[in-house]
């Protein structure tokens, strides 16, 4: 037999690369369909289990499921909370500020304000009414 070119036999389904792509698409489509079916079956099983759980809880604990957390406001008992008393007049920190000299220390504020000294200093510094200087504070001319 003479050696010559061998004839290629035509494959079923078309050329090589395209047939591989087609086969992959078919396989992917079938895999997706089987996944969808499995998800549907698992969903129905889960729904059945949830229904069983509810009926089991009703059998054990009674018809109404217990609520978690605090009861709603209208259902609370006891006295209603007292409204905070409104302060009349200017804030106390303003009174302390007026009594201070143009430069002062933390001890000076403590003598006037007592426990509220830190709060007063914080208010004044936020409002940019005082500035830290040396050992104490000075009032900023507004």
pTM of the model: 0.37
Q: Please state the domain count of the chain.
A: 2
* Residue among 97, 108, 107 nearest 130 (CA): 97
Residue 101 covered by a domain? yes
Residue 76 covered by a domain? no
Residue 74 covered by a domain? no
Residue 73 covered by a domain? no
Q: What does the pLDDT read at residue 25?
A: 95
What's the mean pLDDT when you consider all of the chain? 82
Q: What does the pLDDT read at residue 12?
A: 55
Residue 27 covered by a domain? yes
In terms of residue numbers, what domain contains 115?
Answer: 92-139
Q: What does the pLDDT read at residue 64?
A: 63
Tokens 């792509």 identify what position?
21
Residue 44 covered by a domain? yes
Residue 113 covered by a domain? yes
Do 22 and 59 lie in one domain? The reply is yes
**pLDDT > 90? residue 120:** no
**pLDDT > 90? residue 33:** yes
């Amino acid at each position: 037999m003479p050696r010559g070119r061998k004839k290629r036999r035509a494959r079923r389904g078309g050329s090589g690369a395209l047939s591989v792509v087609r086969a992959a698409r078919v396989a992917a489509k079938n895999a997706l369909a089987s996944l969808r079916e499995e998800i549907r079956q698992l969903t129905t099983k889960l729904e059945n289990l949830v229904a069983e759980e509810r009926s089991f809880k009703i059998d054990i604990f009674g018809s109404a499921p217990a609520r978690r957390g605090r009861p709603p406001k209208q259902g609370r008992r006891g006295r209603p909370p007292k409204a905070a008393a409104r302060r009349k007049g200017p804030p106390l920190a303003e009174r302390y500020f007026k009594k201070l000299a143009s430069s002062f220390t933390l001890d000076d504020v403590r003598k006037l304000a007592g426990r509220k000294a830190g709060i007063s200093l914080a208010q004044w510094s936020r409002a940019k009414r005082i500035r830290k200087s040396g050992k104490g504070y000075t009032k900023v001319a507004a």
